[in-house]
Structure 1
Amino acid sequence: MKLLRYGEPGQERPGVLDKAGLIRDLSGYIPDVAGPALSAKSLDHLKSLDIEALPHVPGQPRIGACVGNIGKFICIGLNYADHAAETGAEIPKEPVVFNKWTSAVVGPYDNVLIPRGSEKTDWEVELGVVIGRAASYISEQEAMDYVAGYCVVNDVSEREYQIERGGTWDKGKGCDTFGPIGPWLVTTDEVPAPHNLKMWLEVDGKRYQNGSTSTMIFNVPQIVSYLSRFMSLQPGDVISTGTPPGVGMGQKPHPVYLRPGQTMRLGIEGLGEQRQQTRGA
């Protein structure tokens, strides 16, 4: 099942994609693709519905972030062996954890704003994991029972703010619009092999990232279990699990960074595609 949210910012309604690729309205059954609606019981009920009989949403409405009311937007850094190599970093012994502020969340086709004074805004296609059940101190063996589904995340990053300005990575990761999510939340039953998905990203038609989740250092159960030792995870929390090589910072002989007026396209096998225009803030 491919869940989504459609409508203007702050007014999104829940929907589901039917077999023909049409949006069907779910607001008669759940208030939003968020919180309790992501529980296994709720998802099982939605899966039992006759999707083709739900109201069809006409036209081409704006698609919002596929999860509403996100409580925590947690990210894992340097989690692909080939990406760590391109940045010259050592393979982490434990997951590198940082946050994106929820004010960074936008829809998959919304504009990405280059911060004022920024010269090193970068791109990162990532597999997003959406939590569907409250979790604390869970084992790797049971971790997948707490996952509602997966989505595409663009972990947009300002490298100067992240690396050169002192403190943690967070200030370079959480700028407004730096967290496009979606277009869909794809439930786990439709993603039987999350650790073998092709993923890619292009800027102005040039493909920079062309990787696979198979090169993850820490897999999804390891990440979910690890995080649950340090914080409780709640339904609707989003975990962005790292990026493959090909980021702008790693380009040779010189890094390549985003500037206003460019187009990013990115996607993950089975999870859909995003497209963003860059604009000056």
Structure 2
Amino acid sequence: MSGILTAVQIVVLGEVSVVFNPMEAVFLRGCFLLIFVFGISWKDGERYDWRDLLANILFGIFETCGVSLVVIAVGLISVSDVSAITFNKPIPVTILAWIFLGETFDWIDGTLSVINAVGLVLIAKTTVDSAEDQDLLSSLLGVICSLCGLLALSLLYIAARVLAHRQNEDPCLLMFLVGCVDTTISSLFLSMTSSWLQPKVLDELFMCILLGGVSLATIYTCTRALKTENAMFVSTAITLSIPTTYFYEIAFKGRIVNGATVVGVCLTMISTFFLYLKTAVFSD
């Protein structure tokens, strides 16, 4: 469910960013997430210390940065290419967990990381190569934003893993903090650039409401899943958004996918699948 909703969210973000400023899409999303202040378990607050607070705040910052970069990227390159790069999280998460948390990283992880990196390079290269000369810079910037978004969203899972290890995660608190960071950063940017827009027709208002509803469902299912399942399972499940967004663009946008892109996507997903088998299945 998290994977499918993630795909729906990035598609809706792409449609909204066409009508509004990309950061306004982030602001709208954040406003809806503030409602989860009513679900926070305040009675458990006394067991939190500064490390829990820091991990919760970092979760919100990384989530906002990641989504903001994704929103910018979908305005520059196709939604499916953005999802193929940005939601390819399991192997980057494994590498970051090894660096920051001291988790194991053996030769199998290294081999799968190389395969995954080759897939990412193929996707990024074909995205830039397929652009027209006048759109070359935009495509390159879109790829860079997607890669930076991948890093931010992977760091988000490190923060989530820290909270899970300490058994102090509260899904509603996480969502509320994401909403706070979303609205704060986006409103500052929109105010400084004087780029606020308002929905002028019913369709635009509907897109705003749809974005809020999908965002609520996506982040709620993701944080609940992180509470009941391991981070590897959740991040692997979210990679289902990649073929879903490609299907959307092929079926509804008439996109013809480059063969090298297909190979790149297959390499990233196969390496992710084998990493999941190694970590969550065979390790048991």
Instruction: Output the TM-score relative to the length of structure 1.
Output: 0.25
Larger strand fraction of residues: 1
Question: Higher relative contact order by CA 8 Å / sep ≥ 6: 1 or 2?
Answer: 2
Instruction: Output the TM-score relative to the length of structure 2.
Output: 0.24
